[in-house]
Amino acid sequence: SKVKVAINGYGTIGKRVADAVTMQDDMEIIGIAKTRPNYEAFVAHDKGYNVYTLADRVDDMKKAGIPAAGSVEDMAAEADIVVDCTPGGVGEKNKALYEKAGVKAIWQGGEDHELAGCSFNAEANYAEALGRDFVRVVSCNTTGLCRVIYPLDQEYGVKKVRVTLMRRSADPNDIKTGPINAIIPNPIKLPSHHGPDVKSIMPHINITSTAVKLSTTLMHVHTLNMELEKDCTSEDVKDLFAKQSRIRFIEQGISSTAEIMELAKDIGRPRGDMWENSVWKDSVTMYEGELYFFQGIHQESIVIPENVDAIRAMMELEKDGAKSIAKTNKAMGL
Ligand code: NAD
């Protein structure tokens, strides 16, 4: 029988994880939890997901026209594993609920590493999550960094990483966050925490980061500069990246994140998602012994395949990370 997965928090990440799990043959969605009966709750209901809600809101859901299947506690009791996709900082409060229900849980990058005690990236440390009760799938930025740093470290040894993160300031559906016309160094005190979060997965990596927020909703862009232990050429790095299933080369005249998002729609990706790192091929350059390149990170979707792999590792559906990655990719169409 399939592993029973529940989604707590059906927003940007939660709805995508639900659909990705549904595409797999070894796991299924037994319910999603939503706080309010808004359009997303109705779409979830129409898609056939059982819609759960907070214990004191079950009647509100019913009155609004969604025959709520029950409370989050009821949902947790039905599930083998809960993927917590509530807003950053909220997920922490649900830990006691999961412990009480005796259910495994995955949190997202908005929570601290310590909450789960294991941070996850499918390529870099799949085996660490095998059989674990609690795991945190790292943020979009950290996922994007791990996917390029890990193979480079394996092949050439990474001596030092410097990264500047140019971050989208809001998701496309977010009407409350800005700026709409400014660039914000954020945080101003340096270095930022973003790059070093990679150490929650690869503690030995020497990395510093700076970050700014831009007036856009279309992806983050990273400028990377790396010193490697072994000599290699730009072509060697391109060959290595070409072998990574979750890195896509951006070329053929694509010069912006807007066009990457258009490409994702053109190739028929659900919600226009780009699950892979988008590395501008022509930017990959060895210059005076150091590596430079640009990559785009689709914040709304890059962590979705990683959540599927984390479920597979924690439920021990597959012991071999490479096999899980291949299975997830095939089912999703990566
Ligand atoms: P979101 O605001 O889009 O969705 C969160 C959902 O949780 C909303 O539907 C909200 O109504 C619901 N919710 C709020 N409180 C709840 C509660 N107590 N119980 C159940 N549901 C509740 O947030 P998001 O962007 O999907 O982020 C979720 C997590 O994923 C955060 O940790 C975030 O840091 C992380 N993450 C976000 C992105 C991104 O770019 N959006 C990328 C990677 C990781």
Q: Does residue 68 carry a pLDDT above 90?
A: no
Ligand 1 atom closest to the Cα of residue 299 is 40
pLDDT at 83: 98
Q: Specify whether 179 is located in the same domain as 259.
A: yes
Q: Specify whether 310 is located in the same domain as 231.
A: no
Q: Give the pLDDT band of residue 63 (cuts 50, 70, 90).
A: very high
CA of 275 to the centre of ligand 1 (A): 18
Nearest-CA residue for ligand 1 atom 19 is: 9
CA of 180 to the centre of ligand 1 (A): 22
What confidence tens digit (pLDDT) does each residue in 112-136 have? Answer: 999 999 999 999 999 999 999 999 9
Q: Does residue 223 carry a pLDDT above 90?
A: yes
Q: Specify whether 171 is located in the same domain as 99.
A: no
Q: Specify whether 307 is located in the same domain as 209.
A: no
Work out the mean pLDDT of the chain and round it to a whole number: 97
What confidence tens digit (pLDDT) does each residue in 87-96 have? Answer: 999 999 999 9
Query: Is there a catalytic annotation at residue 85?
Result: no
Looking up residue 172, the CATH number of its domain turns out to be: 3.30.360.10
pLDDT at 289: 96
- Mean pLDDT computed over 205-232: 98
Nearest-CA residue for ligand 1 atom 32 is: 110
Over 23-60, what HEC string results? CCCCEEEEEEECCCCCHHHHHHHHHCCCEEECHHHHHH
- Mean pLDDT computed over 101-110: 98
Nearest-CA residue for ligand 1 atom 25 is: 12
CB 139 within 8 A of CB 304: no
pLDDT at 69: 82
Domain holding 208, by residue range, is 140-297
Nearest-CA residue for ligand 1 atom 11 is: 35
User: What is the domain count for the chain?
Assistant: 2
CA of 185 to the centre of ligand 1 (A): 24
Q: Specify whether 158 is located in the same domain as 270.
A: yes
Q: Specify whether 131 is located in the same domain as 163.
A: no
How far is residue 91's CA from residue 33's CA, in Å, rounded to a whole number? Answer: 13
Pocket-testing residue among 13, 137, 217, ligand 1, by greatest number of atoms within 8 A of Cβ:
13
CA of 109 to the centre of ligand 1 (A): 10
CB 228 within 8 A of CB 205: no
Q: Does residue 67 carry a pLDDT above 90?
A: no
What confidence tens digit (pLDDT) does each residue in 271-328 have? Answer: 999 999 999 999 999 999 999 999 999 999 999 999 999 999 999 999 999 999 999 9
How far is residue 299's CA from residue 139's CA, in Å, rounded to a whole number? Answer: 8
Q: Specify whether 174 is located in the same domain as 227.
A: yes
CB 21 within 8 A of CB 27: yes
Nearest-CA residue for ligand 1 atom 21 is: 9
CA of 175 to the centre of ligand 1 (A): 15
Q: Which residues line ligand 1 (CB under 6 A)?
A: 8-14, 33-35, 85-88, 90, 108-111, 139-140, 171, 299-300, 303
Nearest-CA residue for ligand 1 atom 9 is: 11
- Mean pLDDT computed over 103-120: 98
pLDDT at 184: 98
CA of 87 to the centre of ligand 1 (A): 3
pLDDT at 274: 98
Q: Specify whether 49 is located in the same domain as 131.
A: yes
- Mean pLDDT computed over 144-172: 98
pLDDT > 90: what percent of the chain?
99
Identify the active-site residue in 85, 140, 146, 232. 140
Provide the Cα torsion 314, 318, 323, 324; round to 10°. -40
Looking up residue 31, the CATH number of its domain turns out to be: 3.40.50.720
Query: Mutual orientation of helices 304-314 and 12-22 as an angle, nearest 10°?
Result: 60
Q: Specify whether 273 is located in the same domain as 307.
A: no
Pocket-testing residue among 32, 52, 75, 86, ligand 1, by greatest number of atoms within 8 A of Cβ:
86
Q: Specify whether 100 is located in the same domain as 123.
A: yes
Q: Specify whether 91 is located in the same domain as 154.
A: no
Q: Specify whether 199 is located in the same domain as 316.
A: no
ipTM score over 0.95, yes or no: yes
